[in-house]
Chains A and B, each alone.
Chain A
Amino acid sequence: MSEAIEPERARTGSAGPFRQFAGRFCRHKLAVVGLAVTAALILTALLAPLLSPHSPYSVSDTFSSPPSSRHWLGTDPVGRDVFSRLIAASRVSLAVGFATVALYVTAGTLIGLVSAYVGGWVDLIVMRVTDMFMAFPFLMVILVVVSVLGASLQTIVFVLALFSWPTVARLVRSSVLSLKEQDFVKAGRALGFGAPRILFRHLLPNALAPIVVNATFGVAGAILSESGLSFLGMGVQPPAASWGNMLGDAQSLTVLTDQPWLWLPPGLMLLIAVLAINFVGDGLRDALDPNG
């Protein structure tokens, strides 16, 4: 009976799954840096009103003035403080990024779970619908829909989510399809568990890793898409500030040549934010899937 007495502790130690995961994540140095930067950005967004020296909307007496001690990053053609607008924009961009992802990851996960678990006709129809949504060229169709519905923060989030959920649904579906053949799911059915319990207690927790990775990259993608829309004037509308529309306002040769404070900072902020979040996603991928 010796076999039954002592669990195999040597193989895994007593560390919980989370500690192991954290250890693997921390080995990815860029991911740790990315996480720190992301955290700093989130903090900035949360504390935006406290951190900005001026109101992002108030107009001063100097227009397009270069950086000075009063306006660290100068002022825009309307006379607003660029630094304050940069901080205000972080709020908008991150909010759009996280809200979009929260919306479509939830929807995609639910749809994928149900589609795979129910199977049959439901699954077939869901798959064809995802095919349809995925066949639209992303940026183009989003521009069309935003122009139809009218640009506002809610519309942007809704439209970005509307054309992003199919990827998640397919991801979840394929992991659930393989998971539901596993014996622990059959055991759940044999034990008389209802569909909600099997879906949310057994299938979902085991399908979570790729969802989390996808969601992280999704935040970066949504921020990029929002900035693209705003750059084209179809996204966040002035006077609200977004890194994208700040860059969009700088599309003149004079601004490009002579007023770099108007376009370099928002572009760099975008790059830093997207890069940092992508690094976090990469770290998560490595940590959650040590073999892949």
Chain B
Amino acid sequence: MTVITESNASRPLLQLEGVKKYYPSRKGLFAKGRIQAVDGVTLDVHAGETVGLVGESGCGKSTLGRTIIRLEHSDAGRILYDGEEITAYSVRRMRPLRTQMQMIFQDPYSSLNPRQRVEDILAEPLIAHGLPRGEDARRSVGKLLDLVQLPRSSRSRYPHEFSGGQRQRIGIARALALKPRLIVCDEPVSALDVSVQAQILNLLKDLQDELKLTYVFIGHGLGAVRYISTRVAVMYLGKIVELGETNRVFDAPRHPYTSLLLQAIPVADPRRRLRERLVLQGEAPNPENPPPGCRFHPRCPFARERCFSEAPSLTGNGHAAACHYPLG
């Protein structure tokens, strides 16, 4: 047990120190390899902020999200929640903390049990934690539906009677049921229609203000991440390669990968489209067998001798990048 008794203001709500997560992979008859999904992530998340996690699919951002709230065991490193180390907590010891940290899932179709009515979905967390039952639970369900702006008449319906956006609202309401402080949002809008995405993002923002929530926002679409995040962490092959305030990362990226990622966004402005653009070439290398040195060097247009052998570490105050030759 850590004996930190500083005031909450200076201590991050969530601290990750060198967190690693491996997956076994099978090759051939007996040989076993391992995939380094998350490879040494250090990150602080402060109360009230939103940290965005971006990167291509397979970069480990979703695994990191699940590891944070202990849906997955980490293989190395430390995870501290509110100063308390929870890295090795058993399922039983995690139980009380479940009211503190929650998750919103990507696919609103698979994230709701199709055999439960909305009121059961929303009341079940309360009942499982010995919180209000009966009439009190009913009232809580009503309040939750109000919070996510769904009509109270939704309570007796089944998930399949709702659209994707509405289902995501139910998922958000369920995450809010236990009044958590930290919510990991795992690509909560990427499965939704573009028209609905903005509504859900606004809802998340409003809820954050109203309920003093802290978000870790995992996003595939850079637009959504930029819109909602206070700070952004860019991940590549299990490592954070750039970390800083949203505007600085987006406007003046320091890591070549971030820069290329940003340029991969289709641009509406025809004048900019004509300009010469660097294109992110090739696919991300196999995380089972990451390249030596800087992991990005096979795809990096600026790679030099040093990048082939020496892995850069994340350096820089405020706006950090893991690159030997940062941009700007």
- Asked whether any CB of A lies within 8 Å of a CB of B in the complex, the reply is yes
Can you pick out 6 interface pairs between chain A and chain B where the beta carbons lie within 8 Å of each other?
A: A1-B199, A183-B107, A186-B103, A190-B101, A191-B124, A206-B115
How far apart are the CA atoms of A11 and B163 in the complex, in Å?
Answer: 10
How far apart are the CA atoms of A189 and B72 in the complex, in Å?
Answer: 10
A187 touches B66 (CB 8 A): no
How far apart are the CA atoms of A201 and B101 in the complex, in Å?
Answer: 22
A183 touches B106 (CB 8 A): yes
Tell whether A191 pairs with B149 under 8 Å between CB atoms, given A8-B161, A9-B161.
no
How far apart are the CA atoms of A21 and B185 in the complex, in Å?
Answer: 35
B94 touches A5 (CB 8 A): no
How far apart are A21's CB and chain B's nearest CB, in angstroms?
A: 13
How far apart are the CA atoms of A206 and B116 in the complex, in Å?
Answer: 10
**Contact partners of A194 in chain B: CB under 8 A:** 128
B169 touches A186 (CB 8 A): no
Question: How would residues 98 to 116 of chain B score, 1 for a CB under 8 Å from any chain A CB and 0 otherwise?
Answer: 1101110111001111111
The stretch among B14-22, B152-160, B301-309 that forms the contact with chain A is: B152-160
B113-131, CB < 8 A from A: 113-116, 124-125, 128-129
Q: Does B71 contact A (CB under 8 A)?
A: yes
Question: How would residues 168 to 190 of chain B score, 1 for a CB under 8 Å from any chain A CB and 0 otherwise?
Answer: 01010010011000000000000
**Contact partners of A190 in chain B: CB under 8 A:** 69, 71, 98, 101-103
**Contact partners of A12 in chain B: CB under 8 A:** 160-161
How far apart are A203's CB and chain B's nearest CB, in angstroms?
A: 9
* Of A5, A187, A206, the contact of B103 (CB 8 Å cutoff): A187
**Contact partners of B165 in chain A: CB under 8 A:** 3-4
How far apart are the CA atoms of A4 and B163 in the complex, in Å?
Answer: 9
Known: A7-B161, A184-B112, A192-B99; 19 extra A-B contacts, CB below 8 A, are A4-B149, A7-B162, A8-B161, A8-B162, A8-B166, A17-B158, A183-B105, A186-B66, A186-B71, A187-B103, A188-B113, A191-B102, A191-B124, A191-B128, A192-B94, A192-B125, A192-B128, A197-B128, A201-B116
Q: Does A182 contact B (CB under 8 A)?
A: yes
**Contact partners of A11 in chain B: CB under 8 A:** 161
How far apart are the CA atoms of A8 and B164 in the complex, in Å?
Answer: 10
Tell whether A202 pairs with B128 under 8 Å between CB atoms, given A3-B199, A190-B98.
no
Q: Does B207 contact A (CB under 8 A)?
A: no
Question: How would residues 188 to 229 of chain A score, 1 for a CB under 8 Å from any chain B CB and 0 otherwise?
Answer: 111111100100011001100000000000000000000000
A169-194, CB < 8 A from B: 182-184, 186-194
Chain A residue nearest to B196 in the complex (CB): A3
How far apart are A172's CB and chain B's nearest CB, in angstroms?
A: 16
How far apart are B285's CB and chain A's nearest CB, in angstroms?
A: 26
A191 touches B125 (CB 8 A): yes
How far apart are the CA atoms of A108 and B166 in the complex, in Å?
Answer: 37
* Of A1, A8, A182, A202, the contact of B163 (CB 8 Å cutoff): A8
> Measuring CB to CB, which residues of chain A are less than 8 angstroms from any residue of chain B?
1, 3-5, 7-9, 11-12, 17, 182-184, 186-194, 197, 201-202, 205-206
How far apart are the CA atoms of A186 and B66 in the complex, in Å?
Answer: 9
**Contact partners of B169 in chain A: CB under 8 A:** 4
* Of B111, B157, B160, B166, the contact of A183 (CB 8 Å cutoff): B111
How far apart are the CA atoms of A206 and B110 in the complex, in Å?
Answer: 12
Chain B residue nearest to A195 in the complex (CB): B91
Q: Does B282 contact A (CB under 8 A)?
A: no
How far apart are the CA atoms of A197 and B112 in the complex, in Å?
Answer: 15
Give 7 nearest A-B pairs by CB, closest first.
A192-B98, A183-B111, A183-B105, A205-B115, A182-B110, A184-B113, A191-B125
How far apart are the CA atoms of A170 and B111 in the complex, in Å?
Answer: 25
**Contact partners of B128 in chain A: CB under 8 A:** 191-194, 197
Chain B residue nearest to A16 in the complex (CB): B158
How far apart are the CA atoms of A193 and B124 in the complex, in Å?
Answer: 9
How far apart are A4's CB and chain B's nearest CB, in angstroms?
A: 5
Q: Does B151 contact A (CB under 8 A)?
A: yes
How far apart are B69's CB and chain A's nearest CB, in angstroms?
A: 6
**Contact partners of B248 in chain A: CB under 8 A:** none
Chain B residue nearest to A185 in the complex (CB): B113
**Contact partners of A184 in chain B: CB under 8 A:** 110-113
Chain B residue nearest to A187 in the complex (CB): B111
How far apart are the CA atoms of A42 and B105 in the complex, in Å?
Answer: 48
Chain B residue nearest to A1 in the complex (CB): B149
Q: Does B95 contact A (CB under 8 A)?
A: yes
**Contact partners of A193 in chain B: CB under 8 A:** 124-125, 128
Q: Does B261 contact A (CB under 8 A)?
A: no
B41-97, CB < 8 A from A: 66, 69, 71, 94-95
Q: Does B150 contact A (CB under 8 A)?
A: yes
How far apart are the CA atoms of A191 and B149 in the complex, in Å?
Answer: 22
